[in-house]
Structure 1
Amino acid sequence: MSFSAVQATQPADLPTWLPYDELLCEVLNVSMTGLIFYLPIYDPAGSGTIVDFTFVYLNPTAQRMMRMPARPTLTHMEQWPHSKEHGTFDFHVDAYLTGEPRSYNINYQADGYDNYYRLTARRAGEGLLVSFTDTADQPRSPVEIALRESQAREQAARAEIEAQRQQLQGIFNQAPVAIALLDGPEYRIALANPSVCEIWARPQAQVVGLPLFDALPEVRGQGLEELLEGVLRTGQPYVGTELPIQLLRHGSLETVYFNFVYQPQYNQGGETVGILVVATDVTSQVLARQQVQELNQELEGKVQERTQAALALQADLLAAAQRQVQQRETFFQIFEQTPASIALLRGPEHRFEYVNAAYQQLFPGRQLVGLPLAEALPETAAQGFVAWMNNVYQTGETFFGNEVLLTVEQLDGGPAKDVYFTFTYQAYQENGVTVGISIFAYDVTEQVLAKRQREAQQAQLAELFEQAPVAIVVMQGPEHRIEVVNPPAAQIWGHTQEEVLGKPLLEALPEVRDQGFKELLDRVAATGEAFVAQEVTAVLPRDGEMKTVYLNFVYQPLRDLQGLVNGVAAVAVDVSEQVAARRRVERNEQELRTLTDAIDQLVWTASPAGELEFFNAQWYRYTGSSWEQSRGTGWTLYYHPSDLPLLQQLWKESQQNGTAYHLEARLRDAEGTYRWFLIRAQPLRDASGRILRWFGTNTDIDERRHQEQELARAGELVRATLDSSADMIQVLDAVRDANGRIIDFRWRLLNAVATSSLGGDMVGRRLCEYHPGVKESGVFERFVQVMETGEPQRYELEYRHEQFNGWFEQSAVRLGDGLVTITADITVRKQAEQHLQATNEQLRRTNIDLDNFIYTASHDLKAPITNIEGLLYLLRDELPVEALRNEYVEVTLTRMMESVERFKRTIENLTDVSKLQKEHSQAATAVQLAPVVEEVRLDLGPLLQESRARLQIDVAGVPAVLISEKNLRSVVFNLLSNALKYRAPEREPDIRVRARVQDEFTVLEVTDNGLGIDPAFQSKLFTMFQRFHDHVEGTGVGLFMVKRIVENAGGQINVRSQLGAGTTFTVSLPNMPGPTA
């Protein structure tokens, strides 16, 4: 059958499982058919006639067959000057102008080609797509190997990602702290580990997927809505301490206290899309502290009330400061976001594989990752931790440690540090085998110490001041003698209790003399009125130097039994960190405004009513507008008139519904050019849900839109490529049994040729059911081998089927769990190969006879011509002087001697041709071009000087070429000497010798401004004994020998010449890797 006769049909939409560009690349690279994409060149005179075609692309097979690069610089007619004579040019023009598929068979024997070609052409858009085959063998494409390697890498990467995901999920489930992930403004529970489900007293399946306040309705109205909304709105984390929440647990409401972190989660655009919750239940600690407080209340009077007031003031201040603390940097991994300490250890020696920042901070300065536990932390072995870990690794049983003491040695030689942990040791497995242990630890040192402190409080209620969490000082008398000072007060002052007790204020703290504190105390003592101050600055000693601190304090007058003021009690809190945090927040806000002016996006804000209030600098820079031009509705003038109505409609609906919106629209820049932007608007709400402001961004997506358009055009090119191919292109999916064994293949995709050849649309049908003989022919077994090994196959086979008969060449390459096959009808090629083989044998015998004849002729003629030359010399010597003076005799003798010389040169050339044929079998070597050109230049020095020629040489920096050095010298000598011999008499010779690398060849160009060659004679230029200028000596053999030398070396020689202007010879020789000249 003939595939070329099949009419191309309109393809169905290609499936979405394979992108157009990937499918096109695979088809072009593995195709056994050469593919060329042209653009037409029209008559410059404006007649509309197509006069030539320029190359746009050659696929690898076409490059190999034509010995051309992927994008040649020559045109069609320059590459194949005889194309019109053979009818191929008219075939191209006809296919382009009609827009219909065309086929053409040609035995092209010109322009350095001698093959039978079968061409199919079809117009594709503004270009012409031509596919062709020849009689030469086509080597296997390297893209098949690259495809298999790419698939293997992809599978390995997916397996690694899946293992990491499972490991992360296991650690989440084993974490001793509560972890939950809330998505979106509804705070939908996307993740809830067992610890948080235990606190909620609800199974995981009951809460995952539900909004938080639907899953836990009892927590509504307890303040969580405002906290969550603040984190989602601002994108800043929130840290809560001992927050009381009422939860419905075990049938009744219980008050549970939490320490927690609300950590915002961001999408790739930097928008807050969810919140990570990490919490610990501290109910027992809070209740224990409350019991202590109740006892204190019974034993304390006024002092306790003041203390409680100060504690409340401190708590309020701390909570306010905590809400203000903003983190500018966002953690990108959940391990880094949790306050817990996490480590992963691998192998029986428990080698650290990963530690998060919190875990590393427990052991500052220690190298952990890469070292075994006993080597990195030797103290853990002596204290039993390694033994516990060994048991977990050997048995797989999880170990829970509660408030376990670890004494950590200090690297600086200082005293060891006691740290208390609540932790789990959990084995993790790969393929059912324990390979390591995960540590999820929480530093409970503060809780343990606080518990011990509470126990000490119960035993030493009299030392209440010593245990107070705020600074408390009692001063008596007009000098304000310090009677009581607790440790926080001493710490604030930067002194010990012993240094200040019993001394007047200014004696104990001389540094505060001029800071106004004594004057305030005097006023409180005199008036009997308390004094409250916020964030008052004081300069006090810190770490050996004076530093400014910020204090919140109360001066409360103390009275005796008669009601007279006899002293002052001071309750103070150091708020230096809170002030610094607030100032950082203020700086961050300023930096945020600066950031909006620095980012590429166009940022704007609007009032709840939709009035634009702010544009960042990028808006003004892009649009070239001012605030006055953009305010109000002025911004609408910069959007494309076709896009503005939809934009205004969505903006109006968003204001009415209070919902976010986004769309793509075109925005005009300062030069009047429209570009595509992604426009987003998001409302900012207060705790009651009222919209406070609209925030919007415009992101430039113009490049992405153009890429989408290019992708669509690529899809059209894929369709055109598939249907213009003369080969059958099929995509088959493997059909497997229950054990995974391949039992058949099912068609997924066929091009038009395959559909027509197989008698209809075969998509969905099974290969073996349609063509049972595919197993007998061995094709099915080859397909299975390709699937199992991943190695592509290419083979020839003879088909005998009701739809088609003959010889075919087929290639198969694995693609996912299926195959891509390309089948070409090579019946004509097989017949041509047989004919070619017989012709080549006949030519071989003819060449042998010709070589023998040349050798015999050159050898046998040497003696006679030598005898003739001797006789002529003898004749000249024997003739009388009078005869020699005869003009006719002298001219005749001279002509006879010149004829003998010409005959001798002809014999020498024939001898050289014979030697050239014998030298063809000699091994080529790596030869540097520059030294050879320089030697030839020196040899031709006298002629260059005589002709006053200007010679420019630029051949440095190219690789060595693969050729005999003697033959390369002959090529260069012939081309340079010809450039000098055939120079134009009216101008000085200008000769340029250049070299460049093109693909795998070194291209040598020799250009002159000499006589040039008539186009009518250029096709005969390399024929033996052809000469086109008689005013200089020559035999017409030199260029013939140059062509033979170049082609024998695997290269190619071409000529471009204009009569009267000059000539350029281009020699392409294969290069090889190595040092450049």
Structure 2
Amino acid sequence: MPTVAPPLRAALHFPAELLQPLLEVSLTAINLLRPVYRPDSEEIEDFTLEYLNLAGQRIMRLPEQPDGTLLTHLPHALATGIFAFYRHVYETGEAGRYHLNYPHDGLDQFFRLAARRCGEMLLVSFTADEVSPDRDAIEAALRASQAREQAARTEAETQRGELQRVVEQAPVALAIARGPDLVVEAANPAILALWGKPPEEALGKPLLEAVPEAAGPGHRALFESVLRTGQPVVAREHAAPNLSTGSQETPFFDFVYQPLRDEQGQVTGVITVATEVTQLVQTRQQVQDLNEQLAAANSKLESLNAGLRTTNATLLTAQGEQQQLNDVLEARVAERTLALQAALAETETQRRRLHELFEQMPLAIAVLQGPEYVIEMANPTVCTLWGRTPAQALDTPLFDLLPEIRDQGFKELLDEVVRTGVPYVATELPSVLLRHGRRDTLYWNFVYQPLFAPSGQVTGITVMATEVSAQVTARLHLAAQQQLQAVFEQAPVAIGVFSGPDYVVDVCNPGLQAIWGRTAAQAVNRPLFEVLPEIRNQGFKEQLDEVVATGVPYLAHEVPLQVLHQGQPTTLYVNFVYHPLRDAQGYVSAVAAVATDVTEQVSARRQVQRLNEANVQRLNRELAASNADLLANNHELTDTNRQLTRANVDLDNFIYTASHDLKTPITNIEGLLQELLFSLPASIQRSEPVREVLAMMQKAVERFQQTIVHLTDISRLQLAHVQPAEEVNLADVIENVRLDLTPQLAAAGAQLEVDVVRCSRLSFSPKNLRSIVYNLLSNAVKYRAPARPLRVQVRCHSAAGATVLEVQDNGLGLDALQQGKLFGMFVRFHDHVPGSGIGLYMVKRIAENAGGTVTVRSEPNVGTTFVVTLPRMVRDHEAGAHQVP
């Protein structure tokens, strides 16, 4: 059977034979606790559980004498106030009661507690109500209400501004007034107490109206000076009336009126920081009075000494008086010394609080001392902006800590402030700092404020700075966009950008406005086919849709464009390129158009054609009228044919010249782009949007130049059939091409098999034959199948007086629809490799100009075979094939 611990018997004066049964049958839980003190302290930190009766064991679910302490078994006793209740009853000796709901530590009941101290023990009686369904619902509702209330309080607390928290926590008197009327925006309790005003009489009101005592000539002039010059004003030991108590005693304060600036660096208000130094001033005055009293005492002592020399009796009296005076003076000196020490301690406390405010200020602040500008103070904000830790910064010369700024002009500015004693204010000054392993270009608004010694000499500099890189970068980015827009406006060709499925006009430069016959105001930010409804059925929408769907540029030459100029139908001829513009995910989101009006060139060429046709018709009429005059007119006909030949040559030159007409505009665009790159700052060029736009423009220029080169090559194909034929060794041509393609063949792991000995020599243009072989072999390498090794077979045979050249590969292959479009100009079916879509077109033109043919057999994912039939075979040789690895 459980036994009662001896301390319980000592505390309760019951006979032993009654106490134990009473505790066991009690329906009230009884708990006996002993206090646990902190080491070397009389403060109670916990209670041991000495005894629990049966009811207490059942409720607490603990044994009679549990191990551990109250807080180990019920850790939530602190938060619920149980521990504080027990400690209060024990320390005061006053019995008490405590009721609470305790849903913690496995217990969810409503407790009623009664406690009383008994000697060195604490006796606790408690009951617990059983949980009922109604009570559960009530408690659930109560807890939900409490949770909502707590959430609301948390939300309200979260919404309080950062400025108010800084002001409220400031260890000094602090207020912020904004605007020309200095409306009080924030004021902490310290400064409200100084003003003797409650918050409702100060906040939101002009400072000089809320606190009329601050409107005196001296204070008003100080405020106006800060607003006008942007320079802080410091007042030391300034006497101010006691507004809070109305006492006759005059308090003294150190004031700092600091300008408050907006993001543009404009002064928008004044920050007032005040530290009371009344006790320090009074202590100094008391010390001064004490010194004067000591001086008077010394003077009196001298008089007494003089009297001592005249008479011994007077000496004895004077010595007694002197001793008494010395005792009084020593007591007063000790009293004043204690007061001075207390004042110094209070001053140190105020300085420490001011230092904490310095550490928490969002403004970057540093103090530099000496000719080396050693960093004496640096708050966390400035260390973060420097990219250095406080341990690295303090007691380190500024230009040793930040060597990268040594040659950026900052030392010269600091030297000038030291030399002249005049503050230096900088706005949006750039600097380059090494932070976290990279060079960052930053922009600052800062003030170099000189620090003066009592002699008036400048001994250091206070730096106060804010970083404004984001604002400057945004402004420069806007300027770059405006400059880019100016480039488009000055471009000598027509340029437009159409975005979205409706092809909304984003860019429309003057050249394009002239072609359309519309102004920018009529076109920009409107769908293209609402701006030009007359071109809706002229095929341009289908071309744009194809560019968006395939991502392949579209190049057009001398396309007729029927538009309305001032209400009148007008037909123009244009050369243009539709180029896809991709977004960050690689999708075509817009189309750029670059166009040139070639109406005059087309009209001139058609005029030449009409003249030629007229001449031919005239000659036919003359020939039909009289065959008898054929011999007589032969000379005239020869002259006419010569003129036609010259006209055709002029026509070919005109086509060649027209293909070159685009070179000058695109060269001008390239020059303007290079000038833009030269004039833009490096930081703007590196910004993501500008860099992408410049890269797209550069690539567009390069593709346009390549297209012009291909057009020139195509125009030269007109003369390919007149190139002299030579006896050519086909095997040598193939070998030279293989040597040129060696890097590509090796990279692809290709196996090239050549069997052309039976028809290795033929009469053909060497240049054109090499072009055919090169384009067919390079196509086989480009469009190989990645799942298998590339194998290319080149063979030839004779057929009906012609040489048949076959190039077969096991690459990606083509379907029937692709084979039908294969030999078109600028046709491409794969974008994973570079190309222009002109190679096979040139092969077909060369073969047909020479009287030959080219055909293709292909199957997707099996391979492709090109068959080129060339005339003028010389001889065949029967021989076996040889393999080139």
TM-score by length of 2: 0.27
Larger Rg: 2
Higher helix proportion: 2
Q: TM-score, normalised by structure 1?
A: 0.23
Higher relative contact order, structure no. (Cα contacts within 8 Å, ≥ 6 residues apart): 1
